[in-house]
Structure 1
Amino acid sequence: MENGFVDCHCHISAREFEEDLEEVIQRTIEAGVQTLIAVTEEVGEFDRVLQLSDRYPGLVAPCLGLHPLQACGNLEQRSVKPEDLESALPLFYKHRDRLVAVGEIGLDFTPWCAPTAQDREDQLAVFIQQLHIAKELDLPVNVHSRSAAQVTIATMREQGVSRALLHNFAGRPSVALEAVKAGYFLSFPPAICTNQQRAKLIKQIPLEHICLETDSPALGPDKQVRNEPRNIFMSCQYIADVKGVSSQTVQQATTNNAYRLFTRARKM
């Protein structure tokens, strides 16, 4: 079971994959990826990710969640508001038996995305409500934190969340170790391969708390090129190089970690 990769955070329901999804999935399988933990950002994506899990059973493991930033036309983004959750709430419960996690949820306090205190309060309210849903449904959470790592981790601990993945973690090593202490996992996409800061961070995180992700179609090795789940081997190799172990060691450890966290994905 643990011979392949698990992509712990990808957007396989994204529009960028609509044209050639079959080929993308074929390349994913050929690259040895056995599970795609597929997250959503907006309620409009919920159906699509569930359809994909029907179409590719055993490969696409669906998560439902509202991202802290929501689209508002022409590439503009705004902070999520509590009312955005209204149409999503019944869907978490309706599909509870199919979900492997609640995600992508979290906090994004980047100044131009959340310029006001109200924005940050709204994000926090939506995040906490989704943490409650995850606990109620006995599911882990798949979490985004940008310019908000400390608050994100503190909030999860305060809410009694014990199972979480912090995706594309870019906080300070001391903050990462807080997450480790809480029992959380941290994952890294192929874009880290060119980032020296991230190497210092990865060095300090025990392999038992690391997962692999692509965040495809974003965060690939080349900013201008669409990322795909097949690129997961790049994260694996990079982490292996930083830690001075074999890529097979990293692959096995991260896959074990992924199934320890996303227990339902193992049974799919």
Structure 2
Amino acid sequence: MEFGFVDCHCHLSAREFEEDLDDVIQRAVEAGVQTLITVTEEVGEFDRVLQLQKRYPDLVAPGFGVHPLQAGGSSQCRSVNLQDLDAAMPLFYQHRERLVAVGEIGLDFTPWFAPTRQNRDDQMSVFIKQLQVAKELDLPVNVHSRSAAQVTIATMREHGVQRALLHNFAGKPSVALEGVKDGYVFSFPPAVCRNTQRDKLIRQIPLEHICLETDSPSLGLNKHERNEPSSITSVCKYIADIKGLTPQMVQVVTAHNAYRLFPRVKQQLQTVPQS
């Protein structure tokens, strides 16, 4: 089977794409993107992601999740709490047949976002509840782990999570290799091409445990410019260069990894509910 690129983690429902999404999609297709696993950060995005699946049924594969950081009253983010999850919980089950993953979920213990023990405890409670939802629905999880890589992996292991993507992973190689033992997969966005900080990490993780992502509209090649799914080609080439492989090899293996991790993607692309 011939594989195109799989963007395992992007935010097509972001407001940054409202004006020209058809053009963004066209550029992605022209770049060879076959699947866009589209995740959410808060419950207000859930319906938009489902509408995107209906609009681009052969491309968009939806995930629902409540992120560890939520929009605050100003431009600043705040740590998630259990009340943020209340409205989301019934929707996971209502739309279970349309989902390919639970995400974006996880932990963000960055000091200025989670300054108190209560913040971290709330994040952990929200994370664990969504891990339980994923297990009940037999779905993989699409996971954020900033300043919390080790505890994120340990928590998933403790709760028996077997299928997980750790997106934009920036933990220590030793921590990543513990995740590899658990069968977890790690993805990297184009932002890793800006410097060599994660070269050692990428070099040590086996290619069979790597996927590609863009995290668009964030984490692109240029820090202050909107990122989009077509930029996935750059991170593919970067990983290939680090590992001494061809970009074609990285494209095929990472796509295979993605479809193994997210098996419902193929089902979704074949049959999309119309209501």
Indicate if the aligned counterparts of 2:191 and 2:222 stay in contact, CA closer than 8 A: yes
Structure 2 CA distance, aligned partners of 1:3 and 1:30?
14
Deviations 1:178-228 (A, max 9, x none): 110100000000000122120010000000000000000000000111000
Give the superposed CA RMSD. Answer: 0.7
Structure 2 CA distance, aligned partners of 1:127 and 1:195?
31
1:257: which partner in 2? Answer: 257
Which stretches in structure 1 are left out of the alignment for 5+ residues? Answer: none
Structure 1 CA distance, aligned partners of 2:119 and 2:192?
29
2:44: which partner in 1? Answer: 44
1:92: which partner in 2? Answer: 92
Q: Which runs of 4+ in 1 moved over 6 A?
A: none
1:118: which partner in 2? Answer: 118
Deviations 1:129-186 (A, max 9, x none): 0000000000000000000000000000000000000000000000010110100000
2:231: which partner in 1? Answer: 231
Structure 2 CA distance, aligned partners of 1:182 and 1:115?
30
Indicate if the aligned counterparts of 1:2 and 1:255 stay in contact, CA closer than 8 A: no
Task: Return the offset for 1:75.
Answer: 1.4
Deviations 1:17-55 (A, max 9, x none): 000011001111111001000000000000000000011
TM-score by structure 2 length?
Answer: 0.96
1:162 aligns with 2:190: no
Deviations 1:80-110 (A, max 9, x none): 1011111000000000000000000000000
User: Which amino acid counterpart does residue 154 of structure 1 have in structure 2?
Assistant: A
Q: Secondary structure at the match of 2:70?
A: strand
Structure 1 CA distance, aligned partners of 2:17 and 2:7?
16
User: Which amino acid counterpart does residue 228 of structure 1 have in structure 2?
Assistant: E
Structure 2 CA distance, aligned partners of 1:74 and 1:15?
16
1:214 aligns with 2:214: yes
1:29 aligns with 2:29: yes
Percent identity between matched residues is: 73
Indicate if the aligned counterparts of 1:71 and 1:77 stay in contact, CA closer than 8 A: yes
2:173: which partner in 1? Answer: 173
Name whichever of 194-203 and 45-54 sits farther off: 194-203
User: Which amino acid counterpart does residue 236 of structure 1 have in structure 2?
Assistant: C
Task: Return the offset for 1:76.
Answer: 1.1
Structure 2 CA distance, aligned partners of 1:187 and 1:166?
6
Aligned pairs, number: 268
Task: Return the offset for 1:58.
Answer: 1.9
